[in-house]
Structure 1
Amino acid sequence: MDQEMADIEAQASNEEPEAEAAAILKKANRPVTLKFADVVYKVSLSKRGSCHKGTKLEEKLILKGITGIVLPGEMLAMLGPSGSGKTTLLTALGGKLGGKLSGAITYNDRPFSNAIKRNTGFVSQDDVLYPHLTVTETLVFTALLRLPNSLTKEEKTTHAEAVITQLGLTKCKNSIIGGSFLRGVSGGERKRVSIGQEMLINPSLLFLDEPTSGLDSTTAQRIVSTVWEQAKGGRTIVMTIHQPSSRLFYMFDKVLLLSDGNPLYFGKGSEVMDYFSNVGYTPSVAMNPSDFILDLANGVSSYTDFCDNQTIVKQSLVSAYKSNLADKLMAEVQNIDNHLQDGVNDKQFAQWATTWWQQFAVLFRRGVKERKHESFSGLKIGQILVVALLAGLLWWQSDASHLQDQIGLLFFYSGFWGFFPLFQAIFTFPQERRMLEKERSSGMYRLSSYFMSRMVSDLPMELVLPTIFVTITYWMAGLKSTAENFLRTLFVLLFNVLAAQGLGLALGAMVMDQKSATTLGSVIMLSFLLAGGYYVQHVPVFIRWIKYISISHHAYKLLLGSQYKASDTYPCGTSGGVCLVGDYPAIKEVGLDKQVLSAVAMGIMLVGYRLIAYLALMRVGVTGK
């Protein structure tokens, strides 16, 4: 697999195809005029009423009639204080906001559709990337998933290499992305990788949420300059930005200023100071235009008292906007002719750029490369080896005369390899939720291809460690030394691992909170363990039903069957007599019969828990199955 990626990278280093791809990326596929008129967004909040009335719902306006237009080749910057509605509006314009949204949002005078979705890039504020993949691997895998089948694998890779060159990422192309506890590329480089993922599809419309957040002024300048160059290629760019420097501010073609969901200004960035001067607000000293208008959006003016008159300033600016800009802007949005219709209709764009099998193959390779570091970490391997050696020494060469000790080891197998894979699996989907939401909302792949690739890619990594564990402890403990008994024991243990893993996946997918899912998993597994048939043989009738849904019970029963038959004997009594294993009290209660029934129950749990996990994941993301 590493060799395959090396071959891809070597193939992509060909300069001529890279130059061709770079030339293609300079211009938008299909220019898009973005119009939004009187956009209103409401959310319902619960409000506690009087004692006899209880809780009632209250609606809050987040966006209060926002209107604007962005033409191809223009870059719109949305400014405003925290909580002013910038990200909400950006999400609505990007087609990612549901709920009580009203008003008209059109793209070349058409509503949001598959055609627009396939021509739209959306860069979120937080860089959601896999930490162990290199820059090249991240962009190549994204290209293989997002670019259509009209391009060959080599052409997709060439596009990824062209984006790397275009965004100035050549020096770090073979460096890993990194994360909170893993050193990788810098923050600015990570942001450019996020932008590069969207640039791969050569979007006509690009949305960016706070692309300069947390970056120094020089890096922020480089990021915005890169985006500005994309706009000059005929793209329509919309971004939110918190407090840009004056150098950045004058790069914006248009500016939208928001305050508490109200528009205070929409127009050319070069005319913003003249507008506010005309409505009575002029800075007392020369200052950065963005600082000045953000002060106004917060209700702070050099002519007003900071504490008492913030509301008055905001109200006067809202009134000024309605008097001076609102009608003129609405007329412009409604009357401007859109000459960019090109006859491309939604039917020409399939919902998915690639086939199910292509998505599965790429996601499988990406999953193995990303998770092999975690699955085979030195800490995890060391943990398993230490426990295996300790168990082997504690049960060293126990024979049939120590029957209680042997069945104790088998129950330890079922318990340890119930808890361990459960807690490993619980973290799977909560950790990947943001990545899944990001990629699914962009229509990158089907949920089913992601889910199956995740299940299959985890198999070798999840089954190697229990195999090593059994291999060590089985022979040290002196269990039956035939190949048949060993393989049956190993098979049952792996079966147990997969069933417990399925339960962990289901809990993680349903709860999507690591702490809550871990607590719930602990309670469930402890219940299964207590009802497993080892600790308590005489379980009261009213609670006996738990053992039938207990992974530990069925695994323990199958493990006993892998070692013993009812007709086997063991030394008992003081006169050298022997007794039947099937009559041993601790074994008799669990029983050595109905092995097939327990195997079927385990199989149902193995499949059923995964089906529950899949259904729970269907609420994550927005499209497909």
Structure 2
Amino acid sequence: MMETELVGGSSIFYKPQRSLTLKFEDVVYKIKSKAQNSNQKSSTRTILNGVSGVVRPGEMLALLGPSGSGKTTLLTILGGRLSLTGTKSVKGKVTGTIAFNGCPYSSSLSRNIGFVTQDDVLYPHLTVTETLLYTVLLRLPDSISRKEKADIAEGVMAELGLTACRDSIIGNSEKRGVSGGERKRVSIGQELLINPSLLFLDEPTSGLDSTTAGKIVLTLLNLTKGGRTVVMSIHQPSSRMFYMFHKVLLLSDGHPLFFGKASLAMEYFASVGYAPNVAMNPSDFLLDIANGLSPDETVSDRQEIKDELVSAYNTELKNLVQEELEEVTRQLRETEEPNPSTKWCTSWWSQFTVLLQRGLKERRHESFGTLRIIQIFMASIISGALWFQSQGHVQDQVGLIFNIVGIWSFTPVFEALFTFPQEREMLTKERSSRMYRLSSYLMARLIGDLPMELILPTVSVTITYWMGGLKPAVLSYIEFLLVILFSVLVWQGLGLAIGAFIMDLKKAATFTSILMLLFMIVSGFYVQKVPVFLAWVKYVAISFHTFKLLLQTQFTPADTYECAPGQRCSVANLPTVKVVGFEHRQFNIIVMFVLLILLRFLAYMGLRRIGVSK
């Protein structure tokens, strides 16, 4: 159970379960960029250069610096999320020491650490209440009842001033929702629900007016009264906000220029020969000198000013920072820290049920959207009209069957293809916070998509089947529908697997289009004599197995058709049917079933690269 001792009479200011002291010493981060062409060599660039500091429980540290100074990178490294910022073209290496109560970052520690990203990654169609409720259900242990969890979410909403917009959706660029300040408070509220010992925030006041920004920083200051540690990167705070910070770390091109109490920053720079000529906002002054701007404009060389400030830090402050680090180290040695549990705080089933409920609510608007329903109905009616009552015209019926195969291959595969790339940011955020197991997320996603994946094809096939004059037998219709639904699930698996491995939507769509074109060509309808070097593809082509199984629901080897006036021929000898054949039906079903399982497993393996890997 969580501690409920209140500080200042506020329900979200109860003391955290444990206190965390963050210590970082001589942190260096270098990236190696790949050459753009064969004539260039790969280069190494230093993003952070020997940054040190310490933040104790009850303190709030602000990382200041101009754009490109390395403050967001440092925050990401300290929060244990560096791997989430890299790309294939950039490889980074971190050296130095980062410790939490003297211990390195671990998955168990992540449950005591909150991280609020600069961009508010929230589901746009959930309300404020739903967003916080689902978060608290996932992140707090099963030992706390659902009612208690709901009460905690209510308390957080009340303290963050979100009660008035509790039933408003979050919204996005396409759908109007809560304001920017309210969105930011919801993001902060999500992290406060776990009663974090250490809270990281990346630009929490970005894009907000000064009044709203001041309220957010004041809320964070009040959180430290309960013994929390707060670290934030911030670009240009007002003077009122500046003096709320207990400590400030000023960066310039990855070099530390100042670390210490915010109230002593101006005094320090005055002591090394840099004082403003007029009264001004301390943060504005610090940003000016971090950019290499001399207060009296006597020195025009910006790099010279930066070098002087780096030298002054190494001479005046570096030893003081080192002494504080050593003092904290001695204190932590005297305190025996219990080993935190590495188990998940909620069961697999709890995670699955909450994720399923949340997914159904978030995607209810798109599952049966008007545009999609119209699209499916129009395609079905047009197909039924083109092949209207084609019974007796075997070649036409075969064409109708393959047309249905085409519609219900491209539709599910491209719907599934966009699933994980669109949810990557959310999945990255939540998995990094160890909110749930990857398997529970994937299973909830698969089950939640079933209504959309199965109901629409059922309606579509029903319309086309009877309009098109396919075999007028209920059993044949049921078999035909079951094959289509089976294939839809397999195609969905293909889309999920490709999307999990290729997160770039353009590349994923291009690859999928080429692959599906190849599958369609070798399926036996367009080309009866496939070259030997491509003939093997049909055994893994979902469309081939689907087409063959569908033909078997409509025809048998004994069936005949009128191939010429007064002459009947065997359906089995029709070129399209002959190349596909009627044999090995069980083999086709087994292959489809194997693909159904294998493709979903591949999707799971692709997703393991995002966030933690368990």
Give the TM-score, by structure 2 length. 0.94
Equivalent residue for 2:537?
A: 546
Assess, with a 3 A threshold, how the Cα gap between structure 1 residues 19 and 275 changes in structure 2: closer, same or farther.
closer
How many angstroms does 1:572 deviate by? 2.9
CA contact (8 A) 1:250 1:269 kept: yes
Deviation at 1:102, TM superposition (A): 2.1
Letter of the structure 2 residue corresponding to residue 298 of structure 1:
N
Distance in 2 of aligned mates of 1:30 and 1:149: 20
Change in CA separation of 1:217 and 1:559 when aligned onto 2, cut-off 3 Å: same
Report how far residue 586 of structure 1 moved.
Answer: 2.1
Distance 1:19 1:453 in 2: 39
Counterpart position of 2:576: 586
Cross-structure match for 1:268? 261
Find 1:381's aligned residue among 370, 373, 377: 373
* One-letter amino acid matched to 1:349: S
CA deviation map 1:569-588 (0-9, x unaligned): 2223212x332222222211
2:503 equivalent to 1:512: yes
Q: Deviations over 1:138-190 (max 9, x none)?
A: 11111111101221122112111111111110011111111121111111111
Partner SS for 1:461: helix
2:19 is the alignment partner of 1:34: no
CA distance in 1, matches of 2:481, 2:222: 60
Deviations 1:33-78 (A, max 9, x none): 22222122222233589x7xx7654432221111112121111100
The residue type paired with residue 602 of structure 2 is I
1:293 aligns with 2:286: yes
1:255 equivalent in structure 2: 248
Maintained 8 Å contact 2:152/2:193? yes
Residues 527-551 of structure 1 show CA distances to partners (whole Å, capped at 9, x for unaligned) of: 1111111111122223222222211
Give the Å deviation of 1:510. Answer: 0.9
CA separation of 1:95/1:579 partners in 2, compared to 1, >3 Å: closer, same or farther?
same
1:397 aligns with 2:389: yes
Name the counterpart of 1:73.
Answer: 58
Tell me if 1:154 matches 2:144: no
Find the counterpart in structure 1 of residue 87 from structure 2. Answer: none
Whichever residue aligns with residue 332 of structure 1, its letter is E
2:25 and 2:139 map into 1 onto residues whose CA distance is: 31
One-letter amino acid matched to 2:142: N
Distance (whole Å) between structure 2 residues aligned to residue 619 and residue 397 of structure 1: 51
Q: Secondary structure at the match of 2:578?
A: helix
1:124 equivalent among 107, 117, 123: 117
Cα deviation code 1:435-456 (max 9, x no counterpart): 1111111111111111111111
Contact 1:115-1:345 at 8 Å conserved across structures: no
Q: Which residue of 52, 60, 85 corresponds with 2:45?
A: 60
User: Distance in 2 between the 1:548 and 1:528 partners?
Assistant: 10
* Matches of 1:249 and 1:27, distance apart in 2: 25
Q: Percent identity?
A: 55
Is the partner of 1:23 in helix, strand or coil? coil
Specify the code of the residue in structure 2 equivalent to 1:311.
Answer: Q
| Whole-angstrom CA distance in 2 between matches of 1:330 and 1:351 | 36
SS in 2 for 1:244: coil
Task: Work out the CA distance in 1 between the residues paired with 2:144 and 2:519.
Answer: 52
Contact 2:197 2:227 in 1 (8 A): yes
Matched residues, number: 602
Tell me how far apart the structure 2 counterparts of residues 115 and 583 of structure 1 sit (CA, whole Å): 66
Cα 1:590–1:623 shift into 2, 3 Å: closer
CA distance, structure 2, for counterparts of residue 132 and residue 147 of structure 1? 23
Q: What do you get for the CA RMSD once the two structures are aligned?
A: 2.2
CA distance in 2, matches of 1:358, 1:22: 29
Indicate how the Cα distance of structure 1 residues 111 and 538 shifts in structure 2: closer, same or farther if over 3 A, else same.
closer
* Residues 20 and 559 of structure 1, relative CA distance in 2, 3 Å threshold: farther
Aligned to 1:426: 417
> Which of 106, 110, 117 is the matching residue for 1:113?
106
- Measure the CA separation in 2 of the matches of 1:535 and 1:387: 21
Task: Say which SS state the counterpart of residue 176 (structure 1) adopts.
Answer: coil
Give the C-alpha shift of residue 302 in structure 1: 3.0
Q: What aligned pairs does 1:474-513 form with structure 2 within 5 A after superposition?
A: 474-513=465-504
Asked if structure 2 preserves the Cα contact closer than 8 Å seen for 1:21 and 1:158, the reply is no
**8 A contact 1:133–1:176 mirrored in 2:** yes
Report the CA distance shift for 1:623/1:106 in structure 2 as closer, same or farther (over 3 A): same
Rounded to whole Å, the distance in 2 between the matches of 1:331 and 1:218 is: 38
5+ long unaligned stretches in structure 2: 84-91
* Inter-partner Cα distance in structure 1 for 2:146 and 2:18: 23
Query: Counterpart of 1:456?
Result: 447
Contact 1:135–1:175 (8 Å) recurs in 2: yes
Match of 1:13 in 2: none
Matched residue type, 1:592: F
Asked if the contact 1:139/1:196 (under 8 Å) is kept, the reply is yes
Alignment partner of 1:324 is 2:312: no
Q: Which residue of 1 aligns with 2:96?
A: 103
Distance 2:12 2:337 in 1: 19
Asked whether the 8 Å contact 1:19–1:162 carries over to 2, the reply is no
SS at match of 1:118: helix
Partner residue in 2 for 1:361: 353
SS of residue matched to 2:82: coil
Q: In the alignment, residue 506 of structure 1 is paired with which amino acid?
A: A
Cα pair distance change 1:366/1:283, threshold 3 Å: same
- The amino acid of 1:593's aligned partner reads E
Shift of the 20–603 alpha-carbon distance from structure 1 to 2, 3 Å rule, reads farther
Specify the SS of the correspondent of 1:287.
Answer: coil
* Counterpart for residue 588 of structure 2: 598
1:208-227 matches, cutoff 5 A:
208-227=201-220
* Structure 1 segments unaligned to the other structure (5+ residues): 1-15
SS in 1 for 2:371: helix
Q: Does 1:351 align with 2:351?
A: no
| Counterpart amino acid of residue 526 in structure 2 | Y
- The whole-number CA distance in structure 1 between the counterparts of 2:290 and 2:600 is 50
Q: Which of 153, 164, 171 is residue 178 of structure 1 equivalent to?
A: 171
Give me the whole-angstrom Cα distance separating, in 2, the residues matched to 1:514 and 1:305. Answer: 52
Contact 2:417 2:498 in 1 (8 A): yes
Letter in structure 2 aligned against 1:556: F
- Deviation of 1:24 (Å): 6.2
Change (3 A) 1:97 1:35: same
Residue deviations 1:546-603 (CA, integer Å, cap 9, x gap): 222211111111110111111112223212x332222222211211222222222222
* TM-score, reference length from structure 1: 0.92
Q: Distance in 1 between matches of 2:160 and 2:599?
A: 44
Aligned equivalents of 1:84 and 1:143: distance in 2? 35
Amino acid corresponding to residue 468 of structure 2 in structure 1: A
Q: Per the alignment, in what secondary structure is the counterpart of residue 61 of structure 2?
A: strand
The amino acid of 2:354's aligned partner reads V
- Would the aligned equivalents of 2:12 and 2:159 in 1 still touch at CA under 8 Å? no
Q: Counterpart of 1:198 in 2: which secondary structure? A: helix
Asked if the contact 1:18–1:161 (Cα under 8 Å) also holds between the matched residues in 2, the reply is no
Give the 3 Å change call, closer, same or farther, for CA 294–422 of structure 1 in structure 2.
Answer: same
Q: Deviations for 1:478-516, whole angstroms, at most 9, x for unmatched residues?
A: 111211100111011111211111111111111111111
- Render the CA deviation track for 1:241-285: whole Å, top value 9, x for unaligned: 011111211111111100011000111111211111111111122
CA contact (8 A) 2:72 2:202 kept: yes
Q: Whole-Å Cα distance in 2 between the matches of residues 114 and 21 of structure 1?
A: 32
Cα deviations by residue, 1:94-138 (Å, 9 ceiling, x for unpaired): 122355222222222333234432211110111111111111111
Aligned AA for 2:346? T
Question: Residue 597 of structure 2 aligns with which residue?
Answer: 607
Distance 1:579 1:25 in 2: 84
Which residue identity is paired with 1:133?
Answer: L
Query: In 2, distance between residues paired with 1:398 and 1:17?
Result: 76
| Alpha-carbon distance, 1:18 to partner | 12
Q: 1:544 to 1:47 in 2, by over 3 A?
A: closer
In 2, the alpha carbon distance for the partners of 1:380 and 1:179 equals: 21
